[in-house]
Structures are given as structure tokens and as C-alpha cells.
A and B are shown apart, each in its own frame.
Chain A
């Protein structure tokens, strides 16, 4: 008896150690990529120039390139990547299916449609666009859940309905782009592929504030999410208010996802890939919210660097993540189908 308790404890310590090591490594990689985002570009600036600009000193040339162009781009990538990673992970864990992520079931499409609508039809300010995208995302979630309730809940039905809703929302976006005025189109086009191009400091504040508020809320619910993963009844008997936890987690993730979508557009597959990659690296047993967020950051920044510098032409980050992510999705389907999990 004592021995088995000991074994469990040793296993737990081992997993804990692995979690800490992997998370630290991910954080270091993310940090290195952040530095690379600031240093690389048409002119490559050394570390001390970057530091001096960040500390507020005036450096000829570097101040503009780093302060006005690269820093907002990097911050947009960091916060959006984190939001996509965390939001995607929460959805996947809560619905217990890696395919049930905000991209596939159309939640980012809801945010995009609302954002495009408020830009093209209402000519709204950034604040309004942010609020609209949150409302769009939440409304989409509610509609999908209501439609998929049926006689008994089925995740398959939810995914199919989400795909249908997404097709409609994409049609709405295309229509809005068509009736929009010529000068609004380039801004709105970002909502179709996702890109860090043209990130500006003033458009970033809503995203940064919201992530700083809601990410801690999600992380604080980490333990309860772990218990939810054990199943409805187990969680209830362990003292979790399942419905309340679900609502808090879903709402917070939709809000950060919507803001990230409103800022960078839906960067393909980041929300889908981060969770499974983090689970692979850390192992399951702990809830991997923070590792997923870090993987999200790494995916976005690395893809953006690849898109900027690896080819003759510059690609928006969404194209790169799309090319990386889609084969993985197909592989995952292949595996799930073989096991008969669908």
C-alpha cells in the first residue's frame, strides 16, 4: 500500500519536473524569437541598439524601425499567439476533442465577420471593432451550442454545425468585402488570412489589456479544467461547479480569441496546433494552459519570421501556419479514424 502511494508520488514529481523543464525551454525559445523579431529586418540591429531603443533612447534609424514597426509587430505576434494557443487549448480540452477548436467550429469566423462589418459598414473605431468582434464570437458560440443541443449532446454534431455556420459567415465576409469602399478593403482583407503586417501600437492596446485580464482568470481555473477533463460526474463529485466553470472558461477564451482575431485576423491553425503540441511535449496529467500559450507564441513568431525572410516574396503569417498546420490536421484525422475515435 505504502509502496503504491510512493510510486504515485514519484510519478507526480517526475511529471511536475518535466512540466517545469519543458515550460522553461518553451519560454526561452519564445524569448529568443522575440529578440529575433526586433533585431532582424532590412537592417539588422545589434542587441545593444535594440535595448537602447526599448529603454527610450533615441537611436538614429533604429528608433523608427524598431519602435514603430518591429515592436508592435512582435507584440501583436506574442499576444495573439498566446491568446490563440490558450483559447484553442481550453476549447479542445473542454470538448474533449482536438478537432473542436475555434477555427474549425467557426468562432473566429464569427469574430471576423463582426469586425469586417464594423469596419466596412459602420466605419467604426478600433474600440468598437474590438467590442463587435467579441460580441460576434460569443454570439457564434451560443448559436452553435443551441443548434447542436438536440436530444443528446454530440460533439460530432457540434463540429458539423460549426462548419455550416462557418461557411455562412465566410459568405457574409465576402459580401461585405464586395460592397466595401476601395480604401477599406486592404484593412478588411486581413480578416481572411491573418497577418501581422501593419500592426500599430494603438490598435494593440485592447488585445494586450484583455489578455492581461482574462489569461490569469483562465490560468486560475486550471485545476478545475483538469477535473472537468475527468468527466462530468467525477468533477461534480469532487466539488466542481461544472456549469459555472464551463461558462467562465468558455467566455474568457472566446473574449481573448475574439480580440486576437480582431487584431491580426484568424491566423490559420495556431489555435488548433498549440494544444496537441503542448500535450505531446509536456505529457498529459497537468493542464497545459501555459505551455499551449507559449507554443502559440512560438508558432506565430517563427512562422512570421519564415514568411518574412525565408523566401524571395514575403508571405503573411497565416499562409505559413496554414501550410504547416493542414498536413498535421490530416495526419490527426488519419490517426483518429484508425482508432475509431470519431
Chain B
């Protein structure tokens, strides 16, 4: 099944406009799945004993999983994963994933800048876990 997605029109956009928000549930299953898909098998992402041994508060989500999930807010808005041409984040806080409850990541996308000449829009992403931002300077430039 496929639905046609209409591309946002640059002229109708303004800086500060919220383009979407998504709640992601990151469970231990999500971490195992991401480990397999990415090839990052660091044990701090699936073993409580190892996480504790290196002084962590618990098993952590891969930073790259948080980064990869967060950008989906921009991808969904533009309707095409191939239109994200530049994406950067800073990892500011770890996401601790509870063994049964997981971790809820709330991502909100806001228009940060509009470049009419290049026909691109910068989406600023805010990723919040337990009332604290876990990504800094999370910006995705999308081509319209």
C-alpha cells in the first residue's frame, strides 16, 4: 500500500513553525535490533552487568539509534528519506533503557531556517527523554 505524499511548499512555511512531533518507544528489543542492523555490538547496549561494570546507570540506547529515530520526524514531513541532505547532532545526555518499560523519546521538529534560493529548509529537532534534552544542535537540512 502506498499513499502519495505532497511535498511541503516552501512559500507556505515560516521559521518557528512546528512540523511534527513523534513519540518513540525504545525497548531492549529496539536496541538489539539496532545492534544487528548497524553492526554496533557494544555490550553496554544490551547487558546490564556490563553497563554497571563500566559505571553506567543502566543499559543505554545507541546514540546513533536516537539520532536515526529523531530524523524520522523530518523524513515523515518531507515524505522521502532521500531528501535529507545534511544531518547533524551532538550527544548531550544518555538514554537509559529500562529492561521492561524501555524509554520514551519525544521528538519535535521545528523549522529553523528557510533557504529559498537553495530550496532547502533546516529542521531543528528536539529529542526529550525524562524531561531532558538528549541531543544538542540536532539539525536536518531537507531539500524540497
Report whether chain A binds chain B.
no
Tell me the A residues contacting B by CB distance below 8 Å: none
Tell me the B residues contacting A by CB distance below 8 Å: none
